[in-house]
Amino acid sequence: MSEIEFRDAIKQALDEELARDERVVFFGEDVAAAGGVFAVTGGLQEAHGPRRVFDTPISELAIAGAAFGAAVTGLRPVVEIMFGDFLHLPMDSLVNQSAKYWFISNEQASVPLVVRSAVGAGGRFGAIHSQMPVPWFQGVPGIKIVCPATPRDAKGLLKAAIRDDNPVLFLEHKRLYSMKGPAGEPGEVLPIGKAEVVRPGDDLTIATAMKSVHDALAAAEELQGDGVSAEVVDLKTLRPLDLATVRESVVRTNRLLVVEEGPHTGGWSGAVLGQLAEDALEHLDDVWRLTTADAPIPYSPPLEDAFLPTAERIVASVRERLGLAAPSNPVTSTV
């Protein structure tokens, strides 16, 4: 199977869906002429024309409002909010209009729109361009939150999001844009709301999403040398959560570590632990989570590296929890 960069997988999904369905439109700040601040969407306007792909003024609320209006009048808009840190600006349109319209219309009208946004730290973007906004939307009924970790998932899940009749928040970790991986089958559409065991194991389940999946895989490889067989579950979608897959894993391993790039207070990892405690407490010998601190994200490279739940921190957390001694050659992340 051929390999593709994460950013190209996103572009291919947009290109294919624009070609497949004339109702799909794509707009946002600098997405057309400039090709996107992360060089994801170049060439789409040339391929599909300025009525289907176009730039907007610098107003996130206007972008979201236009997307809502387009969606309820027959189009299937995809919009880009350049950085996830700015998703609080269109909150009214997304939370009080788009997410509620199907309900308040007595199930007569859907809102098929997708909001793409770059999220995550580790790229030296500072405190207001590096946040993970999942908790802002986690408690909002009517919005789906998709968080791919690989190029295949980025393409297949974005295609699914565009075809979904509900508002979908599609989050792209900026540290993954240059990552290469299998492209998947031609035209493949992956199901929203389905997690995947990406590494089998017997002693510990590590559940996580986005870039942290790759950190968890690196940590699991290191822990294998300690005699710890770690199973890694890529959640892929944080609303809805596929707790059934996590539960099946926990029934086998009896231990659960949830890794979240985001603050400890109010994070989605707490929801995973809480729901698993309600449903599978008898299978849990140990359960904990690894997050970032309740603090703004540092700009200083050494401080930012220490702030994040990296592969090194995952390994250290597991060793401390299981009472294992650290070797002389620690693990390092490759993503």
Active site residues: 60, 129
288 C-beta neighbours (distance < 10 Å), count: 14
What distance in Å separates the CA atoms of residue 23 and residue 163, rounded to the nearest whole number? Answer: 11
DSSP-derived letter for residue 282 is G
Question: Which residue is associated with the tokens 């050494």?
Answer: 302
Nearest to 81 by CA among 51, 48, 134, 117: 117
Paired sense of beta strands 230-234 and 204-208, if any: parallel
What distance in Å separates the CA atoms of residue 130 and residue 144, rounded to the nearest whole number? Answer: 21
Paired sense of beta strands 230-234 and 196-199, if any: antiparallel
Q: Using omega within 30 degrees of 0 as the cis cutoff, is the peptide bond preceding 57 cis?
A: no
For residue 129, give the 3-state DSSP assignment: coil
